[in-house]
């Protein structure tokens, strides 16, 4: 046994012998004969222990400035200059606000996801062409990632319903809404949109809403297969609409302005009917809208803080083309100028055309520059079709054959150039036009099979 434990038994073990304490010193041994614990660091002890350790300083009546200055000097002795400078700036009389310093080291609170309002969600829905199913899927995905920012779809549906004016009448032949109720709803939505601008400025009281309106026909619409109680052809449609342009005060200060006055983005339909455009329909629509516009009354809008706004309406009939202008001016021929009443045989006499009197009601509807470009393009094309014989009228079978061949060649060449350019083309209409052009240029399928055989 001794041989087994001889190695560690023969080793020397150091033993510390504590000397008795000198007079006036604390005994390092506790009452049970064990050495007392070494004092821990000040930052590691609990709050009650810290208060006991500094109780002597507090009992001596030092002020906060004195203790802070002492802490500053102690930190400088320890080489902690940055901490000392911070204490110096905080206790200085002309130093920064202590709350600012507190906020700087605490940091800004974490930003939480902000929930969209129903109107904001509706704008997102329309701008992205999002379906109901897609919106609900995006909403559920955001909720799974702890970002519940999208309101429920029924809230969005309520916001969509608030965009609808009152008094809409719908039947098999079309739909319509009174101009007064449409303008009341438009004025209410615009004032609500610009409520902060109206509340913060002296714009309270009376405002003026300037709008333009017009009507036109369209053909070649998509025909849907659905049951109808009446014999209605929905391939043609006659539409009347208006566009708000500017909301301003009586002294001319603009509250809201349409950023895209020539776009359909803010276009608001007044009525549409599945009927082909004619002079009788155009005249009847013109008379009806003129009566409604002349009988308009100011719209009253109630905002927050008991603010009442009266909106007066100014409407101009400028959204029309030359055909509509001729109809409302009671001009039968489309080749007669609706402004000066000059016939095609009289238009070459420039001096005579300039000397013609022009009534004021002929220019109040503006001039459609779009149709000027269209007519100019048609003129150049018709001249190009007749270049081989340089005559306006193609009389005789030979000249008609030349015009037909020139037309096919120019249209095909223009089509190929447009397709190979960087211009944006309507793919659907381009496809239809390409098929029709191919049918004109290529022989029927039976002829192709006969040629192949």
Is residue 15 helix, strand or coil? coil
Sign of CA dihedral 85, 86, 91, 93: positive
Write the DSSP symbol of residue 453: -
Residue 207: phi and psi, rounded to 5, are: -125, 165
pLDDT in tens, the chain (453 residues): 667 777 777 777 776 665 665 555 555 555 555 555 555 566 667 778 777 777 777 777 777 777 788 888 888 888 888 888 887 777 775 666 666 666 666 666 667 788 999 999 999 998 899 999 999 999 999 999 988 999 999 999 999 999 999 999 998 889 999 999 999 999 999 999 999 888 877 666 789 999 999 999 988 777 777 666 667 777 899 999 999 999 999 888 999 999 999 888 899 999 999 999 999 999 999 999 999 999 999 999 998 888 889 999 999 999 998 889 889 988 888 888 888 889 988 988 999 999 998 877 788 888 777 777 887 888 888 899 999 988 888 889 999 999 999 998 888 887 777 666 666 666 666 666 666 666 655 555 554 344 444
Alpha-carbon gap, residue 10 to 238, rounded angstroms: 118
Model confidence, pTM? 0.63
Residue 252: phi and psi, rounded to 5, are: 100, 0
**According to the model, what pLDDT value does residue 448 have?**
39
Of 243, 306, 233, the residue nearest 276 (C-alpha): 233
Q: If residue 429 lies in a helix (H) or strand (E), which one and from where to where?
A: helix 427-441
Sign of CA dihedral 175, 177, 178, 179: negative
Alpha-carbon separation of residue 130 from 82, 121, 124, 133 (angstroms): 56, 11, 8, 8
* Whether the Cβ atoms of residue 313 and residue 183 lie closer than 8 Å to each other: yes
């Amino acid at each position: 046994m001794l041989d087994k434990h001889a190695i560690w038994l023969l080793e020397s073990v150091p033993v510390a012998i504590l000397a008795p304490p000198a007079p006036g010193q604390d005994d390092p041994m506790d009452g049970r004969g064990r050495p007392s614990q070494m004092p821990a660091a000040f930052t590691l002890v609990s709050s009650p222990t810290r208060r006991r350790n500094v109780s002597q300083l507090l009992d001596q009546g030092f002020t906060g400035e004195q203790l802070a200055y002492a802490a500053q000097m102690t930190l400088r002795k320890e080489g902690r200059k940055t901490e000392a400078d911070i204490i110096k700036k905080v206790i200085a009389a002309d130093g920064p606000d202590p709350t600012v310093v507190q906020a700087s080291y605490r940091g800004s609170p974490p930003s939480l996801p902000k929930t969209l309002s129903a109107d904001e969600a509706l704008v997102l829905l329309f701008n992205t062409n999002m379906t109901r199913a897609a919106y609900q899927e995006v909403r559920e995905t955001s909720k799974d990632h702890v970002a519940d920012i999208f309101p429920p779809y029924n809230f969005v549906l309520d916001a969509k319903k608030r965009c609808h004016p009152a008094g809409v009448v719908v039947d098999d032949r079309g739909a319509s809404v009174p101009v007064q109720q449409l303008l009341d709803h438009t004025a209410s939505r615009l004032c609500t949109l610009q409520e902060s601008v109206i509340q913060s400025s002296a714009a309270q009281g009376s405002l003026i809403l300037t709008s333009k309106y017009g009507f036109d026909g369209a053909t070649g619409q998509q025909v849907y297969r659905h049951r109808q109680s009446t014999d209605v052809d929905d391939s043609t449609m006659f539409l009347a609409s208006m566009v708000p342009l500017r909301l301003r005060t009586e002294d001319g200060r603009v509250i809201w302005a349409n950023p895209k006055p020539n776009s359909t983005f803010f276009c608001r339909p007044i009525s549409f009917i599945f009927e082909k455009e004619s002079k009788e329909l155009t005249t009847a629509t013109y008379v009806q809208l003129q009566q409604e516009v002349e009988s308009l009354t100011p719209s009253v809008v109630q905002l927050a803080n008991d603010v009442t706004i009266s909106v007066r309406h100014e409407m101009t009939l400028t959204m029309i083309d030359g055909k509509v202008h001729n109809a409302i001016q009671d001009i039968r021929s489309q080749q007669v100028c609706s402004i000066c009443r000059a016939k095609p045989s009289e238009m070459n006499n420039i001096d005579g055309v300039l000397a013609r009197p022009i009534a004021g009601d002929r220019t109040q509807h503006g001039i459609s520059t779009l149709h000027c470009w269209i007519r100019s393009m048609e003129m150049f094309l018709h001249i190009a079709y007749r270049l081989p014989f340089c005559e306006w009228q193609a009389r005789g079978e030979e000249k008609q054959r030349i015009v037909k061949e020139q037309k096919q060649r120019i249209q095909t060449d223009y089509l190929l150039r447009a397709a190979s350019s960087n211009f944006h083309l309507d793919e659907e209409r381009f496809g239809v036009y390409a098929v029709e052009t191919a049918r004109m240029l290529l022989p029927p399928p039976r002829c192709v099979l006969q040629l192949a055989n």
